[in-house]
Structure 1
Amino acid sequence: MQWREDLIANTGSSGLKAALVAWITCPGFVVITWWRLAKWLRSSGRPGRAISWLILRCCLMQRGCYISLLAEIGPGLILPHPTGIVVGDGVRLGRSVTLYQNVTLGRHTAQRPGYPQLEDNVTVYAGGVIIGPITIGQGATVAANSVVNREVPPQAVVAGVPGRVLRAS
């Protein structure tokens, strides 16, 4: 169950008590929980679609975080500081991905469609921008304020504008 893995990833524990504590103290857990509910409601007919839209707008207004309901997100997403995060329509995130504040994952331009895919255990630090139909390899790290528009190998560290691989395994 993805909700349980999200809880464990964000708090290190599971159960009702951990969920209540996370709901109060962990805004990233709240965002991903609301997003998973909205995604589920979206597939349940017209009333569900309307409610999912409202949930998405509330997350945007209250937390300053936009995650498209068309994105695919694996279990264990960690959003330590969810303010300013933008995840576009076709983005695919693997398991245990960590996104810090002001991260943008989206298309390169309207004329060049395609969205990034982040494999398992990827970390994108504050202000990171990943654009276009590229893959960020498993366990890779994107440094703060980097702009990545090329493929990144597994376990690599990427930094700069444009992003360059500083270390690869």
Structure 2
Amino acid sequence: MKNRMNIMVAANAWRGLVALAIASRGGYLWDDVDCWWRIRKLPASSGRFVRLTYLLSEWREFRNVFEMRLRQRGASFFARGLFRVLWPLEATLHISTEDIGPRMFVEHGFATIISAKSIGSDLWVNQQVTIGWNYDKAPVLGNGVRVAAGAKVIGGVTLGDNCIVGANGVVTKDVPPEEVWGGFLLRV
């Protein structure tokens, strides 16, 4: 594992340097890097540049999170465009929420839309998830929320802290903190 990582970082060092320069002010970016590193169970001894370059090299989903963080902190259109040219994004992962806390993790971001009013810290989202608007209302997600594969969270609902929406769950009604929800939760 360590040899593969060293080879990937060496091969992509020049692109990593550009990403590091673009991300120099950071914001929540380094919290995301540490989160992804911990979840992926990668070697703890690696420095920031190695971690950033390896994550960008290995996971397109991380690139989308990185680009979202650049948008959040007001990076120029040129800087974001340069980043997208050097590090192509996962084309079917769309993150349009402006207010997202630290440590966002997206596992298999294929066909995933994240468009909420606000999202707290420690969000974990799996593939084919839709978190989105219903007319003029958008969801609010608390801290520590996990949304499993294929789940839909639609409209002006609130997902409380540390709740879990199970695979293929459909939520259109508030979920209290610490709850696990699967199936349909519809507003009547």
SS at match of 2:29: helix
**How far off its partner does 1:50 sit?**
7.5
* TM-aligned CA distance change 1:54 to 1:147, over 3 Å: farther
Matched, 1:107 2:133: yes
Q: What CA RMSD, in Å, does the superposition of the two structures yield over aligned residues? A: 2.7
Contact 1:9–1:77 under 8 Å retained in 2: yes
User: Deviation of residue 62 (structure 1)?
Assistant: 4.0
Across the two proteins, how many residue pairs are aligned to each other? 153
Pick from 66, 82, 86: which aligns with 2:113? Answer: 86
Q: 1:21 aligns with which of 54, 58, 61?
A: 54
> In the alignment, which residue of structure 1 is the partner of 2:13?
none
Q: CA deviation at 1:21?
A: 1.4
Of 64, 67, 92 in structure 1, the residue corresponding to residue 92 of structure 2 is: 64
- Which runs of no fewer than 5 residues in structure 2 stay unpaired? 1-26, 39-43
Which structure's CA Rg is the greater one?
Answer: 2
Residue type at the aligned position of 2:185: P
Q: Identity over aligned residues, as a percent?
A: 24
Compute the displacement of 1:53 (Å). 8.1
Amino acid at match of 1:127: G
Q: Which residue of 2 aligns with 1:40?
A: 73
Cα shift readout 1:81-117 (whole Å, capped 9, x = no counterpart): 11111122x4311101001011111122x2xx21111
Cα deviation 1:18-57 (Å, max 9, x = unaligned):
1111111222221100111133346xxxxx358758978x
What CA distance in whole angstroms lies between the structure 2 residues aligned with 1:114 and 1:99? 20
CA deviations 1:62-89 (Å, max 9, x no partner) are: 4311111x5311110000111111122x
Report the equivalent of 1:7.
33
Following superposition, which runs of at least 4 residues in structure 1 exceed 6 angstroms of deviation? 53-56
After TM superposition, the score normalised by the length of structure 2 is: 0.71
8 Å CA contact 1:91, 1:105 repeated in 2: no
C-alpha separation between the residues in 1 aligned to 2:35 and 2:186? Answer: 28
Distance 2:119 2:28 in 1: 13
Contact 2:61–2:90, Cα closer than 8 Å, also in 1:
no
Question: Which residue pairs with 1:162 in the alignment?
Answer: 185
Q: 2:102 aligns with which of 51, 57, 75?
A: 75
**Match of 1:17, SS?**
helix
Structure 1 pair 22–60 and aligned structure 2 pair: CA distance change class (3 A): closer
